[in-house]
Structure 1
Amino acid sequence: MNRGDIMDKSVAVYVLSDSIGETGEQVARAAVSQFNPDKYEVRRFPYITDEDQIIEIFEEAKNEKSIIVYTIVIERLKKFIVEMGEVYGIPVVDLMTPVLNALEQVLDYEPKREPGLIRRLDEKYFKKVEAVEFAVKYDDGKDTRGIKRADIVLIGVSRTSKTPLSMYLAHKNFKVANVPLVPEVPVPEELFHKDSRRIFGLIANPFKLNEIRQERLKSLGLSNNANYASIERIKLELEYSKKIMEKLGCTVIDVSNKAVEETAGIVIDYMKKNFGEEIMG
């Protein structure tokens, strides 16, 4: 068959899936675009769960030039589609099996063969993206309205790892707002209306903070003799922050010698204890 013959043809591509079928439809459209037929349709049939649905689709497809493309992982339905393809004389294309077989060979264990897993993965991914965007938006007390919506609120003086901890927890699907505690700045009223089990106060050894703040000033090209890095100022801020944390009745974590991952583990353990395993999403 030459190219001119192909250009005069029309075709219907039936996409069958035991999930929503987006992957199959995208592949089908990409393939059809390589032929540019005069007329074509891609018809998606999601949530295929039994043989009767498949028979109905083949009955429709037999009346026109068509192919069946499927992304079905349930073995029984896959075999039935192949059988129906032979009965009706319609080409069928299995998009999933070659990839599953290759992965099984490399990993040396069988796939789950559960429909809809990619959708669950996508939902988890978008939840994570949403959490990261939330952490950026409500970082460093920029907008105190985030306190009400947050799963977790971190409070503490400057350089107690609030921001990196917020981002780490966001990648665990938690919406986190963090609020700096500064003696000269009023504490947001929203904190006093928040469930104290969701608030975590971060403190640190004053000498450790002194080192961190001096390095911060150097990185900004500023003198490390600034009041911001003085031991007296740091002690004053820490005392102030501890009073606020006591007033809020929140959990207090000393981050002096802890990696962000370790602090995050403590926070997550408290959240599981107070709100159950389902909080991990």
Structure 2
Amino acid sequence: MGPPAWPSPVSSTAHTDSDFMTERNGSFFHLHLVSDSTGETLITVARAATAQYDSVSAIEHVYPLVRTQKQLERVLVEIEESPGIVLYTLLEGPLTVRLEAKCQEFGVPCMSILGPVLRLLQSYLGAESNPRVGAQHELNAEYFRRIDALNFTMLHDDGQNTDEFEDADVVLLGISRTSKTPTSIYLANRGVKTGNYPLVPGVPLPSHLERLQKPLVVGLFASPERIVQIRQNRLLGLRADRTDDSYIDRHAVAEEIAFSRKLFVRNNWPIIDVTRRSIEETAAAVLALLAERRRHPEQTS
């Protein structure tokens, strides 16, 4: 397989100090992310850091699978063309040396994301690391556990195959637009088999779902205003004309939420308010509940 198909590099041109300062002190800056693997770790860390700055935006240049000097040279051309911050996760010594030397020559900051962590581990463990590119993506038991969880979750989405919910690790319940499906998929990517079921007022919950023993059952809800907003946006996206429908009527939605919360309380299921939570934050809350349940299995009813 050839090198990744990044934009073709163009002839390098000189950048003056004033050009660099205008970009850096303006409303944007260039952020170069160089990885010898998929770049997922690097992107996550970079976005978590840049999200702390409201007045400036990062223009991301992502270069995954950089494993040869030829591939690195193409990256260096683009860094010189659009100078900015360079963050990298490269484990091959020659590549690291070349990247850092050229960044110093260009006058741009350059830092390894993994370097400080590896040095800390080495200091604490008293052992040298054994660099392996993409080690976290090996086809090991953990990888196949995640694939199995994804398969299960897709087959048990939106109330499908509820008779198999007892085999799940987590079951999410909630009315329409409480982020059940995306949260389920996120959990599955963490190796958690997840089923979800939509609650509809007037439609009884299948009795066997109230008797689930193995999975952690979690109720999701949001404020009426938030649910109405999401549903209206969805209808706009679908170009559906349901303006008089109870689907987006605030009072009707409030009754749906009240109905769902009474069900959660009656069954003593933990409840998560997703009104202001991202999918990642909701999933983190579910994982915390699951970890607590596994630490104290004797409390499982």
Range class of TM-score, shorter chain? 0.5 to 0.7
What is the identity, as a one-letter code, of the residue corresponding to 1:223?
Answer: D
In the alignment, structure 1 residue 175 sits paired with structure 2 residue 193? yes
Q: Is this contact kept in 1: 2:168–2:193, CA < 8 A? A: yes
1:135–1:197 Cα change, 3 Å: closer
Q: Is this contact kept in 1: 2:159–2:195, CA < 8 A? A: yes
Find the residue that maps to 2:158 and give its secondary structure: helix
Deviation at 1:246, TM superposition (A): 1.1
In the alignment, structure 1 residue 230 sits paired with structure 2 residue 242? no
CA RMSD of aligned residues (A): 2.7
Q: Which residue of 2 aligns with 1:194?
A: 212
Deviation at 1:275, TM superposition (A): 0.3
Alignment partners' CA distance in 2, 1:118 and 1:268: 20
1:137–1:231 Cα change, 3 Å: same
Q: Which residue of 1 aligns with 2:222?
A: 204
Deviation at 1:119, TM superposition (A): 10
Radius of gyration: which is bigger? Answer: 1
Alignment partners' CA distance in 2, 1:248 and 1:188: 13
Q: Which residue of 2 aligns with 1:122?
A: 140
What is the identity, as a one-letter code, of the residue corresponding to 2:211?
Answer: H
Q: Is this contact kept in 2: 1:153–1:176, CA < 8 A? A: yes
Q: Which residue of 2 aligns with 1:80?
A: none
Matches within 5 A, 1:51-62: none
1:31-65: CA deviation from partner (whole Å, max 9, x where unpaired): xxxxxxxxxxxxxxxxxxxxxxxxxxxxxxxxxxx
Q: Which residue of 1 aligns with 2:238?
A: 220
Matches within 5 A, 1:24-39: none
Alignment partners' CA distance in 1, 2:287 and 2:197: 19
Q: Which residue of 2 aligns with 1:272?
A: 291
Percent identity of equivalent pairs = 35
Find the residue that maps to 2:172 and give its secondary structure: strand
Deviation at 1:111, TM superposition (A): 3.9
Alignment partners' CA distance in 1, 2:147 and 2:170: 16
1:217–1:159 Cα change, 3 Å: same
1:100-138: CA deviation from partner (whole Å, max 9, x where unpaired): xx9452587744499xx8997422111111111111110
Deviation at 1:183, TM superposition (A): 1.4
1:126–1:230 Cα change, 3 Å: same
1:224–1:268 Cα change, 3 Å: same
What is the identity, as a one-letter code, of the residue corresponding to 2:148?
Answer: E
Q: Is this contact kept in 1: 2:172–2:195, CA < 8 A? A: yes
In the alignment, structure 1 residue 139 sits paired with structure 2 residue 149? no
Q: Which runs of 4+ in 1 moved over 3 A?
A: 106-114, 117-121
Deviation at 1:214, TM superposition (A): 0.8
Matches within 5 A, 1:77-88: none
Alignment partners' CA distance in 1, 2:136 and 2:228: 48
1:272–1:210 Cα change, 3 Å: same
Q: Which residue of 1 aligns with 2:282?
A: 263
Q: Is this contact kept in 2: 1:203–1:255, CA < 8 A? A: yes
Alignment partners' CA distance in 2, 1:119 and 1:154: 28
Task: Provide structure 1 residue ranges, at least 5 long, that are not aligned to the other structure.
Answer: 1-98
Alignment partners' CA distance in 1, 2:231 and 2:274: 15
Find the residue that maps to 1:140 and give its secondary structure: coil
Q: 1:243 aligns with which of 262, 265, 270?
A: 262
Find the residue that maps to 2:231 and give its secondary structure: helix
Deviation at 1:146, TM superposition (A): 2.9
1:261–1:254 Cα change, 3 Å: same
Decide which moves more: 220-229 or 191-200: 191-200
Matches within 5 A, 1:10-159: 103=91, 105=93, 106=96, 110-112=128-130, 121-159=139-177
TM-score by length of 2: 0.53
Deviation at 1:141, TM superposition (A): 0.3
Q: Which residue of 1 aligns with 2:202?
A: 184
Deviation at 1:185, TM superposition (A): 1.8
What is the identity, as a one-letter code, of the residue corresponding to 1:135?
Answer: T
* Count of paired positions: 175
Q: Which residue of 2 aligns with 1:69?
A: none
